[in-house]
Amino acid sequence: MTTKLATYTRIRGQDQTQYASDQPSVNPARFTDVLGTYPVTSKEGVRAACIAAQEALPQWRSTPAPLRGNLIHNLSLLVTENKATLARWLTREIGKPYAEALGSVQEVIDTCQFFVSEGRRLYGQTIPSEMADKRLFTYRRPIGVCGIITAGNFPLAVPAWYVIPALLCGNTIVWKPSEDAPILSYLFCQLIEKAGFPPGVFNLVLGDGPTTGAALVDMVPEGLIDKIGFTGSSRIGQWIGQVTGAHFQAACLELGGKNPLVVTEDANLDLAVEGALWSAFGTAGQRCTSLGVLIVQERIYEHFMERLLARVAQMVIGDPMDPTVTYGPMISQRFLHNLLTFQKTLLAPHHTVLTPTQGQISRANPWPKFQGDPDQGYFAHPVIVAGVQKSDALYREETFGPMVAAVSYTDLEEALHWANDHGYGLSSAIYTRNSAQAFYFQDHIRAGMVSINNTTSGAEAHMPFGGNGRSGNGSRQSGIWVLDQFTRWQGVNWDFSDRLQRAQIDTVYAGGDTGFRVPDCDVAALSP
Ligand code: UN1
């Protein structure tokens, strides 16, 4: 089926000038399968979407939070009902293996379920005042119009992490999804509409980052966007941080990673091999939580790598609808191109590629356990590189594909240096049976997320998700923590004394003075 998308911004008075051109969306595992075409939103269209969101804001922010939560409940039911259909479109549009696609639709449902009841909390506090006849309170207030820019690897789950809490908190949205998943984004918008969100509360703009995404960020200086949420590269995140910072805004930034996985000498090696394999090659390494640097204790390094390479050799790659595949294609040609460029530019003579193959999988450069036709998709060989040094670009650049650096270490201190020194800090993992080492690792790793005896990926929807250093600006998504991204605290003090009470000045302390005493007590004199 080929779909031609109608525009989906609910913009009043929309006209053709709001759309620049039509682009196709192609199945990355089967080029002949064109899912549909989508209209690229022009800058004028982006502006109109922001104005629509501004106009919808007053009514939406004054809708009681429990009622906003009810609409999220409707959305949760709609996504649940359409879980398999959405997952099939997801697999078709970005090539994610079907079981994983189901899991990432589930992540949307989990997020909805968490925030449905948050609509009945969204707690503020009551705080005792230092003065009589005065009450203090806090309230969470929405921020305004949020511009959300998301990546193609989790085309529903990660957007849901932003938009569900943002809507619940009373914000309106302009969403710029990845150009790699326009059809799926459009389907998601339709579900949002069917859930009953009023027109203008949620708006979609389509196109790539340098044009539509940048146009959305340009709306910050124009005063039409109050908050940006961005998932993508550290380089673009840094730029967004600068633009928003110059306008007194704090963007929610979820950026790259070079996520470390440490294997200690006493680890359960069967488990560690499986964990490293999934961390590195699950989703073809296209998670921001994918493994970047594998750090193995030197006494087990040779043995561990042998076992890992044996497992890699058994891996089935190919058709993402085939349940036996570990990973399918790269999300799009752009992702494959970037990976192949990294393999050309980051590999140096002192490196050893431990895996037998590299580059693009094709009939001419085959992967033995391939399912389907490699020449019909953007498939990449798994690559493990040894001999990496701290000064290497390979150690400092996120490759966002099935490509991993492997190093050995002598003591945990050295392992932590390998784990931290690249400057990213998103996720991390350690495989160990030694609880002292596990605690030491969690105390000293700089990452925002740590797994003990589990993979670098796989965060749950109600845990804080986010990174430090080059992985983000400390913002956290998911669970209660994301509320601080989409609300601002308002402190209220209500004086009903009917007279001027000046804080700190007219406060009546015990005894009529400050109430503080330097105790007149000579401890030595108390001694027997
Ligand atoms: C991402 O790659 O941007 O923790 C998000 C995980 C997933 C989400 C990844 N639940 O790997």
Structural domain of residue 204, as residue ranges?
57-255+478-488
Lowest mean pLDDT among 6-10, 30-34, 42-46: 6-10
On whether both 237 and 352 belong to a single domain, the answer is no
Catalytic residue among 112, 169, 288, 398: 288
**What percentage of residues in the chain have a pLDDT greater than 70?**
94
Tell me whether residue 254 is one of the annotated catalytic residues.
yes
On whether both 247 and 268 belong to a single domain, the answer is no
The overall average pLDDT reported for the chain is 94
Contact status, residue 278 vs residue 315, Cβ threshold 8 Å: no
Cα–Cα distance measured from residue 484 to residue 486, given in angstroms and rounded to the nearest whole number: 6
Best residue among 288, 398, 455 to mutate for probing ligand 1's pocket (most ligand atoms within 8 Å of CB) is 288
With 90 as the cut, is the pLDDT of residue 2 above it?
A: no
Residue 271 CA from chain centroid, whole number:
26
Domain count for the chain, please give it.
2
Cβ of 459 closer than 6 Å to ligand 1, yes or no, is yes
Cβ of 231 closer than 6 Å to ligand 1, yes or no, is yes
pLDDT-derived band at 490, boundaries 50, 70, 90: very high
For the CA of 460, the nearest atom of ligand 1: 10
Q: Say if 501 falls within a structural domain.
A: no
Q: Tell how far the Cα of 487 is from the centroid of ligand 1, in angstroms.
A: 23
Cβ of 96 closer than 6 Å to ligand 1, yes or no, is no
pLDDT-derived band at 519, boundaries 50, 70, 90: low
Q: Say if 16 falls within a structural domain.
A: no
Q: Which two tokens stand for residue 6?
A: 């109608």
Cβ of 381 closer than 6 Å to ligand 1, yes or no, is no
Q: Tell how far the Cα of 103 is from the centroid of ligand 1, in angstroms.
A: 11
Q: Which two tokens stand for residue 17?
A: 């000038």
Cβ of 43 closer than 6 Å to ligand 1, yes or no, is no
Q: Tell how far the Cα of 461 is from the centroid of ligand 1, in angstroms.
A: 10
**Three-state SS at 56:** helix
On whether both 104 and 251 belong to a single domain, the answer is yes
For the CA of 254, the nearest atom of ligand 1: 3
With 90 as the cut, is the pLDDT of residue 444 above it?
A: yes
Which pTM value belongs to this model?
Answer: 0.94
pLDDT-derived band at 526, boundaries 50, 70, 90: confident
For the CA of 465, the nearest atom of ligand 1: 4
Cβ of 464 closer than 6 Å to ligand 1, yes or no, is no
On whether both 222 and 314 belong to a single domain, the answer is no
On whether both 309 and 228 belong to a single domain, the answer is no
On whether both 206 and 315 belong to a single domain, the answer is no
On whether both 188 and 299 belong to a single domain, the answer is no
Best residue among 236, 283, 289 to mutate for probing ligand 1's pocket (most ligand atoms within 8 Å of CB) is 289
Which CATH number is 282's domain given?
A: 3.40.309.10
Q: Say if 340 falls within a structural domain.
A: yes
Catalytic residue among 254, 306, 413, 460: 254
Q: Which two tokens stand for residue 314?
A: 């058994």
With 60 as the cut, is the pLDDT of residue 501 above it?
A: yes
Contact status, residue 275 vs residue 262, Cβ threshold 8 Å: no
Cβ of 288 closer than 6 Å to ligand 1, yes or no, is yes
Cα–Cα distance measured from residue 466 to residue 480, given in angstroms and rounded to the nearest whole number: 13
On whether both 143 and 236 belong to a single domain, the answer is yes
Q: Say if 44 falls within a structural domain.
A: no
Best residue among 100, 153, 278, 287 to mutate for probing ligand 1's pocket (most ligand atoms within 8 Å of CB) is 287
On whether both 233 and 300 belong to a single domain, the answer is no
On whether both 444 and 483 belong to a single domain, the answer is no
Instruction: Give me the helices (H) in 282-411, please.
Output: 298-314, 333-345, 393-396
Which CATH number is 112's domain given?
A: 3.40.605.10
Q: Say if 25 falls within a structural domain.
A: no
Q: Tell how far the Cα of 23 is from the centroid of ligand 1, in angstroms.
A: 27
pLDDT-derived band at 516, boundaries 50, 70, 90: low
Q: What dihedral do alpha carbons 231, 233, 239, 244 form, nearest 10°?
A: 10
Looking up tokens 């019909």, which residue turns up? 376
Q: Say if 495 falls within a structural domain.
A: no
Cα angle vertex 491, ends 488, 497, to 5°? Answer: 165
